Structure 1
Amino acid sequence: MNYQEALQSHEIFARVGEIADKMGLETYVVGGYVRDFIMGRPCKDIDFVCVGSGIALAEQVAASYSQHVPLSVFKNFGTANIRLDDYEIEFVGARRESYRADSRKPLVEDGTLAEDQERRDFSINAMAISVNKSTYGVLIDPFDGVKDIQRKIIRTPTDPMITFSDDPLRMMRAVRFAAQLNFDIHSDTFDALMQSASRLQIISGERIIDELNKIIMTPKPSYGFKLLFAGKLLHEFFPEMVELQGVNSVGDKSHKDNFYHTLQVLDNICESTDDLWLRWAAIMHDIGKPPTKRFNEKVGWTFHGHEDKGARMTPGIFRRMKLPMDERMKYVQKLVKLHLRPIALVSDKVTDSAVRRLLFDAGDAIDDLMKLCRADVTSKNNNKVQRILANFDKVEQKIVEVEEKDQVRNFQPPVSGEEIMEIFKIPPGRLVGELKEEIKEAILEGQINNNKVAALELLHKLAAQKGII
């Protein structure tokens, strides 16, 4: 089968083929580019394999351009890459690999194209198209990758038990590709994945989270999470999420399955955001429910304080899973802590003070918080869903009105601690903090306007009461 049309998207294919012929190198474009072309997907990453030195080929290709082409060489890995506009182009020599039981780092030797294809993770990534003149465009597909694309199947080229034992990260990649492409995982491959799940322990947290984040960024990440759960992979690195699964019943009282509820919330929020960390907030929003679950004979199952518990759990989970311990973690933590607050503002009797406090606590995250709250509405009763969403419309209108009037989002005290010390000639200490706090509370309660004149007037009254002046 000839795929010359796959090589017409960029002049690099003919150029590499011509240089490879001069160097006497059997050379192919392989992997993701071939897969994506057959699937009709755009691809900016092009990988070449040659039977020989990939570095030498890359050097000759880079030198063939009249303009400077950035070349990066990684001798330890036997690879090199060049960047052309927005294309990343990698060169590597064909190789065969062997593994030790305690590591996913292979022992690498020079190999043939067949050996190179055999070592690849999945049949859909093991296809190659020749760029040499005599066989230009010929597809080499020893493991029926084209058929697997047509059948929408993720399948390993060789024995999946060996494939996953050699490099357990491939189990995460199997789920990731299934989620990205909306493919099934072949039954033999999935059985091997389930049996090999514990091998994931030798993989670094950074590599696992990289694959997990790619799953989270798919259009419908619940599919990937269901595969991770069914394959017992999620149990290896995210036990807190596994704990959400299941329903307890006492008599006629039961609670919803919080694992599948969380996945629905995640899918819901993906309809309104591509932000990875807002999607993480959806994943984490009910993570505190298992440790706060209680049964009350009058009301049934309760999860009182799960938002506070979840917020306290967030840093530990992020640290263990090698997620960033910076403002992104604090953002997720804030949304977890506040995700129940907006629903309490639905009543017509809610005061502006309550809205001001939510604005103060949420700051710039208020809009994302409202997206999370809307995504959290997962009832099968459509009338109930529409009623709750209409209530959130009212809450958002209140937020807009209060913010326009009082400007408390990202509140900054109208009078700073330094100004207080200067005005009253007092040293730093608890008294300064108390004065600032009382001014803040007066603004949030609506007792004074959020401006410097009103704050200074109150400051002098408070100072007089405390005997400072």
Structure 2
Amino acid sequence: MQEFLQHKIFQLISEAADEMQCECYVIGGYVRDLFLKRNSKDIDVVVVGSGIDLAQAVAKKWGKGTHLSVFKTFGTAQLKKGSVEVEFVGARRESYNHDSRKPVVEAGTLEDDQRRRDFTVNALAISLNKDTLGKLLDPFGGLEDMEKKILRTPLDPDITFSDDPLRMMRAIRFATQLQFKIHPDTFDAIVRNRERIKIISAERIADEMNKMMAAKHPSEGFFLLDKSGLLEIIFPELSALKGVDVRGGKGHKDNFVHTLAVLDKLASHSDNLWLRWAALLHDIAKPVTKRWDDQTGWTFHNHNFIGEKMIPSIFKRMKLPMNEKMRFVQKMVSLHMRPIVLSEEGVSDSAIRRLLFDAGDDIDLLMQLCEADITSKNQVKVRTHLENFALVRQKLIDIENKDRIRNWQPPIDGIEIMKIFNLSQCREVGLLKNAIKDAILDGEIPNEYDAAYRFLMAKAVELGIIKQ
């Protein structure tokens, strides 16, 4: 405990606080992670008095390279220097209106400040004043809850979650990140207050969900969201995956359970957040494409293409980035069936070239997603799929080395075609350009300029653009 207090920033805060004769404590997640032996960069300091005044005094002591930001409206200040970041705030008590999570704030005591915290494990405080340096203040039993790996609110959980419904998301996120259990009384309060989540902005919910998605086993968070009733409110498309229909003795797998198994399997070897989102959304269109066929049973035809089309509206509603990250997720969802079909139906050079062309630099990530998509309990089936995927991977390497298709552009583009035949933009230019692309991908001609030029001239004759 004393070792972390040797850090220069804590020494400076201690000196400044004693000079100003104010109580000062490090509080919250930094203290929690100290006991859990987790790395934590963000340091929160609460002051019985003015957090801004103390931050300004510490900034002078910290010297050159210190960046001070003051937020007078909120009574907070932030110091940054190198990789160290410290937030200062005055101790306060809060009261809430029913239709808003923005509190009415008044100056308060340390215990008032601890009382307003979301969970007991986040209400731990350590004194930074010289006379009591290192003393732990834990009025709500947070240390004991931490030892038991329990998340519990300092106050009545109905009040805590009604006042600030985002704390329901935080409870599930912390439970997922820290591998803690949510106390039954606290969880029951989440269920009772779930409708209150509707007053929280989509951005704040998405931020919590992304943090949950980055956990070691993100599925646990989604199962908790479902059990609490929050999932149906904030992510109805994912909730719609639940359940199994049976007809004529034939049932399909529970696509919700399958999706979360894929997500965890992928998370075990990839930290890529947007690849994890692709795993979560890869079967998102199965509920809307599900059909019964008397010959084959349950089908989900084109669920990959329909899923690709659903993603922009999901990202827009959830305030996720509408940029290349969304387009990457779309690409993964659209293509995730292709390697599976190749592995089952045979690996032709033409099909491999087209997959390389469509996936580009993301081909390795696509293969990771496809391998995670194998969740069968039949180990013989799993082994067969993985062996086939190994063949697909080798074929991808061989074709790429031979034909250089990844990120490939045809040797002759549309602009050159217009110059060669003195054409303006028209249908014929597109036909010629696509004909060259298809000929190379199908292996009719090599990926070389001269071969493409000869093919182009022959195709132009065939289309009547030039005479033989």
Pick the TM interval, shorter chain. over 0.9
Shifted more, 114-123 versus 61-70: the winner is: 61-70
- Partner Cα distance (2:447, 2:231) in 1: 48
Match of 1:155 among 148, 152, 155: 152
Aligned to 2:194: 197
> Closer, same or farther in 2 for the Cα pair 1:172/1:467, shift >3 Å?
same
Q: Distance in 2 between matches of 1:454 and 1:347?
A: 33
CA contact (8 A) 1:4 1:138 kept: no
Question: Equivalences for 1:212-361 in 2 at 5 Å?
Answer: 212-346=209-343, 349-361=346-358
Question: In 2 relative to 1, CA 425–218 (structure 1 residues): closer, same or farther, beyond 3 Å?
Answer: same
What are the equivalent positions in structure 2 for 1:110-129 lying under 5 Å apart?
110-129=107-126
- Match status 1:406 vs 2:403: yes
Which aligned segments of 4 or more residues in structure 1 are displaced greater than 3 angstroms?
Answer: 3-6, 347-350
- Identify the residue that residue 378 of structure 1 maps to in structure 2: 375
Task: State the partner residue of 1:182.
Answer: 179
Partner of residue 432, structure 1: 429
Q: Secondary structure at the match of 2:62?
A: coil
Q: 1:66 Cα shift?
A: 3.7
Question: CA offset at residue 257 of structure 1?
Answer: 0.6
When residues 224 and 457 of structure 1 are mapped into structure 2, their CA distance, relative to the original with a 3 A threshold, is same
Q: SS state of the match for residue 88, structure 2?
A: strand
Q: Quick one: which of 439, 451, 466 aligns to 1:442?
A: 439
- Cα distance in 1, alignment partners of residues 148 and 3 from structure 2: 23
**Partner of 2:5 in structure 1?**
7
Cα separation, partners in 2 of 1:106 and 1:356, compared to 1, 3 Å: same
In structure 2, what is the equivalent of residue 461 of structure 1? 458
CA distances 1:296-324 after superposition (whole Å, capped 9, x unpaired): 23322111111111111111111111111
Structure 1 residue matching 2:43: 3-state secondary structure: strand
Q: Does 1:388 align with 2:382?
A: no
Shift of 1:178: 0.5
On the 8 A contact 1:20/1:57 being kept in 2, the answer is yes
Contact between 1:6 and 1:137, CA under 8 Å: does it hold in 2?
A: no
Q: 8 Å contact 2:96–2:103 — kept in the other structure?
A: yes
| AA in 2 matched with 1:391 | N
Deviations 1:409-428 (A, max 9, x none): 22212112111111121222
Q: Distance in 1 between matches of 2:134 and 2:187?
A: 33
- Cα deviation, 1:92-148, whole Å, max 9, x if unaligned, reads 100111111111111111111111110010000011111111211111101000000
Q: What residue is the counterpart of 1:92 in the other structure?
A: 89
What is the rounded CA distance, in whole Å, between the counterparts of 2:179 and 2:216 in structure 1?
A: 10
**Do the aligned partners of residues 158 and 60 (structure 1) sit closer, same or farther apart at CA in structure 2, a change above 3 Å counting?**
same
Q: Does the CA-based 8 Å contact 1:168-1:203 persist in structure 2?
A: yes
Q: Which residue of 2 aligns with 1:31?
A: 28
Segments of structure 1 that go 5 or more residues without pairing to the other structure are none
Of the structure 1 ranges 81-90 and 370-379, higher mean CA displacement relative to structure 2 is found in 81-90
Q: Secondary structure at the match of 1:41?
A: coil
TM-score (norm 2): 0.97
**1:52-63 correspondence runs (5 A):** 52-63=49-60
- Give the corresponding residue for 1:49: 46
Deviation at 1:328, TM superposition (A): 1.0
Identical aligned residues as a percent: 58
Whole-angstrom CA distance in 2 between matches of 1:349 and 1:144: 61
Query: 1:294: how far off?
Result: 1.4
Q: Secondary structure at the match of 2:400?
A: helix
CA distance in 2, matches of 1:467, 1:184: 73
Question: Post-superposition shift, 1:280?
Answer: 0.4
Q: Does residue 143 in structure 1 map to residue 140 in structure 2?
A: yes
Once the two structures are TM-superposed, the CA of residue 6 in structure 1 deviates from its matched residue by 4.4
Aligned residues: 466
Amino acid at match of 2:294: E
Q: d(CA) in 2 for partners of 1:68 and 1:360?
A: 48
Q: Give the drift of 1:348.
A: 7.5
TM-superposed CA distance for 1:366, in Å, is 1.1
SS at match of 1:64: helix
Q: 1:66 to 1:284 in 2, by over 3 A?
A: closer
**C-alpha offsets along residues 336-371 of structure 1, whole Å, 9 cap, x if unaligned?**
111111122125753211111111111121111110
The alpha-carbon distance between structure 1 residues 349 and 31, as it changes in their structure 2 partners (threshold 3 A), is closer
TM normalised by structure 1 equals: 0.97
Which AA in structure 1 matches 2:378?
N
Superposition deviation, residue 208 in structure 1: 0.2
Alignment root-mean-square deviation, CA: 1.3
- For residues 357 and 431 of structure 2, the distance between their equivalents in structure 1, rounded to whole angstroms, comes to 18
Q: Is the 8 A contact 1:448 1:454 kept in 2?
A: yes
Q: Distance in 2 between matches of 1:342 and 1:191?
A: 44
Structure-2 residue corresponding to 1:366: 363
Comparing 53-62 with 322-331, which one deviates more in the overlay? 322-331
Find the aligned partners of 1:12 and 1:403 in 2 and give their Cα distance.
53
Mapped contact 2:274–2:329 kept (Cα < 8 A):
yes
User: 2:277, 2:144 → 1: CA distance?
Assistant: 35
Distance 1:334 1:41 in 2: 35
Structure 1 letter corresponding to 2:311: T
